[in-house]
Amino acid sequence: MAIERIRMKALIIIDIQNGLTRRNSLYHEDIFLETINSAIKTYRDSDSKIVFVQHNNNQLKSGTFDWEIDRRIDRQESDTVVQKSHGNAFQKTDLKTVLSALGINSITVGGLVSHGCVKATCLGGLAEGFETSLLKNGHTNWNKDAQIKIAEIEEELVKSGILLEEFQHQKDATNSNKSLNDLTTEEFGRLFPIIIQEYTDKWIDLYQTEKQLIRDSILKSEIVSIEHIGSTAIPGLKAKPTIDILLQISDQIDIQKLKDVFKSLGYQLNKRPDKPSPHLTFVKGYTIQGFKGQAYHVHIRFKGDWDEIRFRDYLIKHADVAKEYETLKMKLADKYKNDREKYTDSKKEFIERINKLTRKQ
């Protein structure tokens, strides 16, 4: 009697490193990242193995920012990491040994880039005797003809005996009909991890565009001022890629009308009783599937002398203090990657120290 071989699975994630993700415009980047994280969650929930593969060469040199795995990806300390220097992750690495030691006989491959290391690793896995699948929507590139190239690669690999595996994005959360307000703190933190990115001038452009959108939607007489605040407003400072905007409004504004305006602009209301009256913040870019598009926070205040503006201006003028703040944020992002509340609370002492200085001035 033949004994059926038990399928022991692993998800192999190829080269999702800053030097490739941050310095190139990936085709369908949001879908790609969501798919990878959905696959990670599904595999992790089923006690399957997650293996990250990092390319290590002159372009992606070990220990550099470019070599590091993109923090938008849910990598945990318990995940296996393999270093490679060739396109095929099985070539001159211990990947096969690692998988065999774990009892793995079935692998699913995703990552970068479709026609390069992903293709080579899929074929390498097949040659090594593994049942091999390609993660649909979980591989991409940045070519002008990316869509055509991806379709061609999938067709070629399927003809070679590679299977296609598809995941619905965050299907456990979606199928339960949860809203963002239904999520626990832990679920929210895992869905929206703390991500610190290199500074980019694009943040200023995003602010200016959104500022104009808000100006065009509210009566001029109801706006006192609109300010770009937060770390993305400080040139050169690494930051979470969220555009924070402080909108000071007239006392005579109709609050319900204001809520309706922001709803029409795609924002969700986030009531903030801990913040000054009218206790409102509007957010955009957050969905039950994770980040979708650019994230914005618009903090609503009546006219006043606000710490956030003085804090921004102080860090712009004092590069050494800005660097100190950046170092703190990087440390806290590593420590509290999936706990946004602790990340924010742990910055308060530093921020208040600077605020006291600016109030005196």
CATH number, domain of 51, equals: 3.40.50.850
Predicted confidence (pLDDT) per residue in 287-317, tens digit = 877 777 789 999 999 999 999 999 999 999 9
Residue 254's contacts (CB-CB under 8 Å, 6 or more residues apart) are none
The answer to whether position 94 is within a domain reads yes
* Whether residues 228 and 356 fall in one domain: yes
Which pLDDT score is estimated for 2?
40
Among residues 156, 79, 87, 83, the alpha carbon closest in space to that of 125 is found at: 87
CATH number, domain of 351, equals: 3.30.460.10
Quickly state the pLDDT bin for 5 (edges 50, 70, 90). very low
* Whether residues 133 and 214 fall in one domain: no
Instruction: Tell me which of 122-131, 164-173, 178-187, 297-306 is least confident.
Output: 164-173
Question: How many domains in the chain?
Answer: 2
More confident residue, 46 or 182: 46
Using only the alpha carbons of the chain, give its radius of gyration: 23
Predicted confidence (pLDDT) per residue in 35-54, tens digit = 999 999 989 888 889 999 99
* Whether residues 156 and 215 fall in one domain: no
Among residues 330, 309, 326, 321, the alpha carbon closest in space to that of 353 is found at: 321
Distance, CA of 78 to CA of 43 (rounded, Å): 13
The answer to whether position 320 is within a domain reads yes
* Whether residues 208 and 335 fall in one domain: yes
Predicted confidence (pLDDT) per residue in 86-142, tens digit = 999 999 999 999 999 999 999 999 999 999 999 999 999 999 999 999 999 999 998
Last residue of a domain, one of 144, 169, 194: 169
* Whether residues 164 and 212 fall in one domain: no
Q: Which residues pair with 223 in a beta bridge?
A: 249
- Measure the CA dihedral 142/155/132/32, to 10°: 30
Question: pTM for this structure?
Answer: 0.57
Q: Quote the percentage of the chain above a pLDDT of 90.
A: 67
Domain hosting residue 231, numbered range: 202-360
Q: State the average pLDDT for the chain.
A: 90
More confident residue, 172 or 291: 291
pLDDT of residue 192 exceeding 90, the answer is no
Q: DSSP states of 274-303 as a string?
A: TSSTT-EEEEEEEETTEEEEEEEEEEEEES
* Whether residues 207 and 333 fall in one domain: yes
The answer to whether position 137 is within a domain reads yes
* Whether residues 122 and 231 fall in one domain: no
* Whether residues 212 and 66 fall in one domain: no
The answer to whether position 245 is within a domain reads yes
* Whether residues 21 and 145 fall in one domain: yes
